[in-house]
Amino acid sequence: MIIPTITKIEMLSPGEYRINWEYPVTTEDIGIYKYKLYRSSGGGDDEGELLKEFNHLRYFTDINNIKKVWVNTYYRIETLNVKTNETDRGKWTTMMVAPDLEAMEIVRRNNILLSNPRRGIGVPIAVFKLKTIGPHCPDCWDFNKQKIRSSNCDSCYKTGIQGGYYEPELTWANLTPPAKMIQIPQWGEMEANEIRIFMSNKPVVNPKDLIYISSRNCFYSVEQIETTTKRDYLLHQLVSASGIERKSVVYNLLKEYPDLNRKLLEMSNHIKTGV
Ligand SMILES: [Zn+2]
């Protein structure tokens, strides 16, 4: 059985919680499992309220306006093997540490700094999180060699996992942070096609995720991330990413999300320059 374990419940903003989980490393096919995420205000024998059915997600953002959620809200994941009908109910897990209110205030101010209509210093970007778990690509995965057969497959975008990336998440980033902020010794000299950007605390980016900047019509691949935290609470992220050449198959992601450029443009039209 591939039973996920809830690893962390984070407060992103008041009323918004992100439940993270991990799957055990296994050669078993995850495609035969169905998972259900439940929430309860009591835990114990309570059945709970169904929030989400999924196959290979790694986190879920729950909007829940209960005060003090970290002491009285529980989450669990139920596992069903559709071939054998075997189930696992999952353990109730709760947020153990109260969120740091000062840290949340810093994040709130960062978000205003980036997206404020008058003085915002950010531009809208789309973050495509890489799928690290899921069924192998039906079109190009070579089961004998355990690798992809094609570098221009638009079923998996060279990732080997069906779909390749999760639906893009839209956020704001500053593309020209002050030099002293982005000169990180272990990152070395900046390459010609590299960008270094400042982002708030979500979405959390990882190496190999993609960042799409609509005003440049360009995809970037995340290389490194430097995070600032306060008592384990993520405040912001400095990201280095390298430009991906136009002939790469990842540009076909734009065909899957035909509204993406319009949505990003609407976000940037909300910024009034020169006012
Ligand atoms: Zn493929």
CB 93 within 8 A of CB 40: no
What's the 249 CA to ligand 1 centre distance in angstroms? 11
pLDDT band at 69 (very low <50, low <70, confident <90, very high): low
How many Å lie between the centroid of ligand 1 and the Cα of residue 16?
Answer: 35
Q: What percent of the chain has pLDDT over 90?
A: 59
Total residues belonging to the chain: 275
Percent of the chain with pLDDT over 70: 94
Please give the Cα distance from 70 to 232 (Å, whole number).
Answer: 15
Q: What's the CA-to-centroid distance between 92 and ligand 1, angstroms?
A: 37
Predicted confidence (pLDDT) per residue in 127-179, tens digit: 999 988 778 899 999 989 889 998 899 999 999 999 999 999 999 999 999 98
String of DSSP letters for 5-16: EEEEEEEEETTE
Contact 21, 6 (CB under 8 A): yes
In the structure, ligand 1 is a single-atom ion and the residues with CB under 5 Å from it are 137, 139-140, 153, 155-156
Confidence at 271, pLDDT banded by 50, 70, 90 = low
Q: What is the DSSP string of 57-107?
A: --EEEEE---TTHHHH-EEEEEEEETTT--EE----EE--S---HHHHHHH
- Quick: pLDDT tens for 185-239: 888 888 999 999 999 988 889 999 999 999 899 999 999 999 998 876 789 999 9
**What spacing in Å lies between the alpha carbon of 7 and ligand 1's midpoint?**
30
Per-residue confidence (pLDDT) for residue 83, from 0 to 100:
94
The reported pTM is 0.75
Domains of the chain: 5-98 (2.60.40.10), 106-130+165-268 (2.40.10)
User: Average pLDDT in the 26-54 region?
Assistant: 89
